[in-house]
Structures are given as C-alpha cells and as structure tokens.
Amino acid sequence: MEKKVKRWVSGLGLLVLLLIMVSILALSLGPARIPFSNIFQPQGIESIILFKIRLPRIVLGFMVGAALAVAGVIFQGMFRNPLVEPYTLGVSGGAALGVSLSIITGFRILPLAGFLGALGAISLVYFIARRQGYLRISMLLLIGVMISFIASAIILLIMSLSQEYQLHGILFWIMGSLEESNPALIKLTSLIILIGIATSFFFCRDLNVLSLGEEEALHLGVNIERTKRTLFILGSLIAGVAVSVSGIIGFVGLLVPHFMRLFVGSDHRILLPTSCLAGGIFLIASDTLARTIISPLELPVGVITGILGGSLFIYFLTKRTLRLGK
C-alpha cells in the first residue's frame, strides 16, 4: 500500500511539474514572443499581453481540459464503456444547437445559450431514459447518441438557411476556441468547474465498485439508482459548463482517461486527479500549438485536439487492447 501511495504521489508531482512547464511555454509563445527571462518581471506591453490575454487563456484552457477529462472518467466508469465521452450523451449537440439558435435570433450571449442548450439536451436524455422509473445505462447511452444526431441535423438545417455572417459565427463556435475575453465569465466558469471536480472526488469508491457491475455494486452496499443519477448529472453539468464557454473541443474526454489509465491504472482515486491535470495540460499545449503553428493566424483549438487526439487514439488502439480497467 505504501508503495502504491508513493507511486501515486510521484505521478501527481510529475504532472504538476509538466503543467508548470507547459504554462510557462504558453506564456512565452505567440505572435509576440516574450523571452522566458521576462515572464516573471514583465514591463509595459509585455505585462498587458501576459496578464490580460495569455494568462486568462491558460486558466480557461486548464479548466475546460480538466472538466472534459474528469467528465470522461465519470462516464466511462459509470457506463463501463471505454468509448463513452461527454459529447456522446448529447451535451455538445445541445450546446451547439443553443448557440446556433442564439446566433440566428440575435441573442448574443453565446455562453448562456450554449449552457441552456446543453442543459436542455441533458434533461431530455435523462427524463426519456427514466420513463420506467429507473435509469437504464444502455437506454441512457442510446438516447444520448440519438439526441446528438437530431441536434446535428437541426444545426445543418439552420446553417443551410443562415446568412453568411451567421454561418461564420456558428462554424467558428463549433470548431472550439479559448478566446474568451470576459474575466468575470472565466472566474465564474472556473469556480463552477472546480466545485464540480471537487465533488466528483467523493465518488471515487462508487466508480470503482460500479466498474465491477451493477449487481456486484448492489451487494457491496451502493445505492445504484441514486449513484447513477448523481454521476450522470454531475458529469453532464461539468461538461456543459466547459462546452458553453469554449465550444466543441473533441477527444479530450475520450483520450485523456485512456492515456492516464495506461500509466496509473483504473483506480478512480488516482485516475480522477491525474486525468484532471492531464486534461488541462493537453488542452493548454494544444491551444499553444493552435496559436503558433501558422502565426500570426490562429487555428481553432478543436482542430488541433481532433488531429492530435484522433492520431494518438488510433495509435493506442493498434498497440493496446483498450478495455476498461486495463
């Protein structure tokens, strides 16, 4: 047991060190490159760039990446399915539909529209799946996928009827971005995500037991229906808040839990915190690459996470048997 704890602590320490290194790199790189020596003592325009533009973007990137990764861990453990991610259950489709409707109607508060859309999709999936009085995992997953398909079809319809400037706004949001300049919104988003992630840590034991199967979990004293309901709502809200402020950023919730499971195992007591850190690191690094690869132009961060995440996932798929708990 002591050896396991030491390994967990060293793993967390390594991730924290990597987070610091990636954050410093992200502060330095950009259209206006700032030397490492000036990061801790910026002056003039460098101070504005660091504290008004890049640092808030790094904070938002960490929070969104951590939220998507933690939601991915929750859903994969809850469904006992390694291919489930936050967007599978209709969160992204609902958020994108809400933003699309917001853009064509002139309601310009896109984060609020995205969150309401995600909340509407989550509620619809939940209440349809619970019509028989209990929450069936297979039904929940199938309805979530169908809601995503329906939302995507409606979005395509809206895009086909939109004007050019509206179409550009919808496409840009769907591709994902961390260009949120409202500090109050970043603080509010960060606070909600932190509370959600902290709450998820109290369900590590329940997730470990659920991975054994519902019947086994029932014998071990877990209230199955209450736990499933709480985990679904918690994971969906964390992902919904993240998506509402950043747009659709794929593969973080799918890839990061798999990647960390290879290194730290399937015990959620360590899988949740390491995935939280790794998700933030991955998104900060991806956003830095998106900002610099064709500088001074900027790519949507969702494009980078899609290319990197898809490539890495295919690599893992060909090298390892991706089964939950392995």
pLDDT tens-digit series, residues 102-148: 988 887 788 889 999 999 998 998 888 876 667 777 788 888 889 98
pLDDT computed for residue 325 by the predictor: 44
More confident site: 196 or 251: 196
Q: Report phi then psi at 158, rounded to 5.
A: -60, -45
> Could you give all domains of the chain from N- to C-terminal order, each with its CATH number?
2-319 (1.10.3470.10)
pLDDT of 66 > 50? The answer is: yes
More confident site: 298 or 271: 271
Q: In this predicted model, what pLDDT tens digit does every residue of 12-41 receive, in sequence order? A: 999 999 999 999 999 998 888 888 877 877
Cβ(69)–Cβ(252) below 8 Å: yes
pLDDT-derived band at 296, boundaries 50, 70, 90: confident
pLDDT computed for residue 323 by the predictor: 47
More confident site: 62 or 3: 62
Of 296, 318, 263, 249, nearest in space to 65 by CA: 249
pLDDT of 322 > 50? The answer is: no
Structure tokens at 239: 């992902």
Least confident of 90-99, 104-113, 208-217, 242-251: 208-217
Least confident of 156-170, 212-226, 289-303, 311-325: 311-325
Q: Report phi then psi at 122, rounded to 5.
A: -60, -45
CA distance 172 to 161: 17
Cβ(81)–Cβ(215) below 8 Å: no
Average pLDDT over residues 52-74: 94
CA distance 89 to 296: 36
pLDDT computed for residue 17 by the predictor: 96
Of 187, 186, 180, 223, nearest in space to 205 by CA: 223
Q: What share of the chain has pLDDT > 70, as a percent?
A: 95
More confident site: 169 or 181: 169
Per-chain mean pLDDT for the chain: 86
pLDDT of 326 > 70? The answer is: no
pLDDT-derived band at 153, boundaries 50, 70, 90: very high
Cis peptide before 42 (omega within 30 of 0): no
Average pLDDT over residues 303-318: 83
